[in-house]
Structure 1
Amino acid sequence: MNARSALFDLYGDHLRTRGRSAPIASLVRLLAALDIAAPAARTAVSRMVRQGWLSPVRLPQGRGYALTTKAVRRLDEAGRRIYRDAPDTWDGRWHLLVIQHIPDRARRDRLRAGLGYLGYAALDDTTWISPRASAELEPLFATEGVRAERFAAGYDGDVRGLVARAWDLDGLARAYERWIDEAAELLATRPGEGDEEAFAVRSRLVHEWRKFLFRDPGLPATLLPDDWPGTRAARFFDEEAARLLPAASRFVDRCLDGR
């Protein structure tokens, strides 16, 4: 786990609901529990400030860092997807994007990665689909200076066949099976008995689970194969994350209080 990813996890999973800010000393202490050294933690904080995710603030405990509006929007959306807070309903309509041609390869690659994170799949170089419109499209298009035509469309054909062509569900299913095995091993070898250990174990569990934000488009259940392993993985994650949360929260609160 690198320091920048750990900070995103920490703010998203704990600090987003605790005032959205923390003293630098607390951030260093919390990341130390994840075997991240103080210099790496401070470097990651500085990098996130330059990238517009954090902003320096003065707190009663001293110098600290708060989430920016951009970061809050991203972490709120990530939280909804990680904990599946949105209802799993679908009206059968697809959100379709027809994007202008982008000659610059770097911009094109960034846009592709951004749309993939938001749950869209490419049908060709300029046409993308998702079962739901994302609230983060506007910031992405503004950042990359891209225009797109948008449509709500039905599909006159084999919907599951379309899904199988657009997304690698077989590869995603294998990834979920591996995650279940690896998470069970983590919990067996590091059960998280004490508060700090519970925080460390839960952080690693959330960190690995969060990676599915970049792979899983969050398709409605009606579009997924029967006995989808992602459902079993989500149930396992929910149970273990909830079990470890009280002890992990106590450790976070102690670090924020400087105890």
Structure 2
Amino acid sequence: MNESLNTRSMIFTLYGEYIRHYGNEIWIGSLIRLLKEFGHNDQSVRAAISRMNKQGWVQSRKVGNKSFYYLTERGVKRMDEAARRIFKLQPAEWDGRWRMFLYTIPEEKRHIRDELRKELVWSGFGSSSASLWLSPNHLEEQVELLIEKYDISEHVHFFIADYKGPHENIALVNECWDLDEISDKYREFIKMYSERYVIDRSKIEQGKMSDGECFVERAKLVHEYRKFLFIDPGLPAELLPDAWPGEHAARLFSDYYKTLAKPSSQFFEEVFKEGNELTNKDNGYDALQHPLLIDRG
């Protein structure tokens, strides 16, 4: 099995893609059934969801002898943030200012430093030195949450500032991020998925692709595209090079995703329904209420 499709990551993908739009809760039996489509067994699913529980991403409740898992508030916020960034098809508008985050975490809290760095990268910050992190994006809310989460208010400083030179703003970008490397990753994605998209679209139109196959391909597509959250900070257009391949990749992802959406959602619903009926509970879900599938006019 492809190591990149590890069980925990796939569970996050399913929560982000489906479960949070279907009442935010799923029976462990349904989750095991869904992950079976990707080659994950009962034991690996139970171990992964247990780790996520201990890490504060999900919580469980019992109905009789059945266990149901739902995203915590922390988990919902992470899924919402990821969705906003994954399904953003255009670069953000820039106010011309930089967000600067500095910290001096004492040695006795060094375990926090590693976690904090990962969170800052996830949020879209780049680093020009060991403890100075920069972003042109509006990340004030994310910074507040990080300070609160790690209880580090006495060890950090946060500024919103104008860059006065002596170089251009792009110099800061080049210090913090390797745009050539990110660009290469986007081109790899485009090369890999352009052909798949054409083939799968044709198969769906001819009725030669099952709902289960569409479900698997949609999850793999999102899983692969989600990796850009960890390498692409989502810079404003003013700070990107001409013909930025990220926009092409975003359009390809959107078109492919929409093509797979209806049959894959139908497959999910069939598996989900059994566990949902165990609770005698109407979660008020809507099959296609995903951010990318709602017609914004």
| TM-score bucket (shorter structure) | over 0.9
Counterpart in 2 of 1:240?
256
Q: Which of 1 and 2 has higher RCO (CA within 8 Å, sep 6+)? A: 2
Query: Given the alignment of the two structures, is residue 6 of structure 1 paired with residue 10 of structure 2, yes or no?
Result: yes
Tell me, yes or no, if structure 1 residue 138 matches structure 2 residue 144: yes
Report the equivalent of 2:69. Answer: 65
Give the letter aligned to residue 173 of structure 2: V
Percent sequence identity is 38
Secondary structure of 1:240's partner? helix
Q: Which range moves more in the overlay, 98-107 or 8-17?
A: 98-107
CA distance in 2 between counterparts of 1:167 and 1:118 reads 14
Q: CA RMSD in A?
A: 2.2
Corresponding residue number in structure 2 for 1:121: 126
Q: 1:188: Cα distance to partner?
A: 6.5
SS in 2 for 1:258: helix
Aligned mates of 2:112, 2:121 — CA distance in 1: 14
Contact 2:218 2:257 in 1 (8 A): yes
One-letter amino acid of the structure 2 residue matched with residue 7 of structure 1: I
Counterpart residue identity of residue 139, structure 1: L
Cα gap change, 1:174 to 1:220, in 2 (>3 Å) = same
Which is further off, 171-180 or 187-196? Answer: 187-196
Q: What TM-score comes out, normalization by structure 1 length?
A: 0.92
- Which residue is 1:156 aligned to? 164
Q: What code does the residue aligned with 1:172 have? A: I
- Equivalent residue in structure 1 for 2:44, among 16, 40, 47: 40
In the alignment, structure 2 segments of 5+ residues that lack a partner are 276-297
From 205, 214, 225, the equivalent of 2:230 is 214
Gaps of 5+ in 1: none
Structure 1 residues 58, 167: closer, same or farther in 2, change over 3 A? same
**1:20 pairs with 2:24:** yes
SS for the counterpart of 2:94 is coil
Given that residues 24 and 63 in structure 1 are in contact (C-alpha distance below 8 angstroms), is that contact kept between their aligned partners in structure 2? yes
- What letter matches 2:134 in structure 1? I
Q: Secondary structure at the match of 2:32?
A: helix
Shift of 1:87: 7.4
Q: Tell me which amino acid in the other structure corresponds to 1:24.
A: I
Please show how residues 168-179 of structure 1 align to structure 2 within 5 Å. 168-179=178-189
Tell me how many residue pairs correspond in the alignment.
259
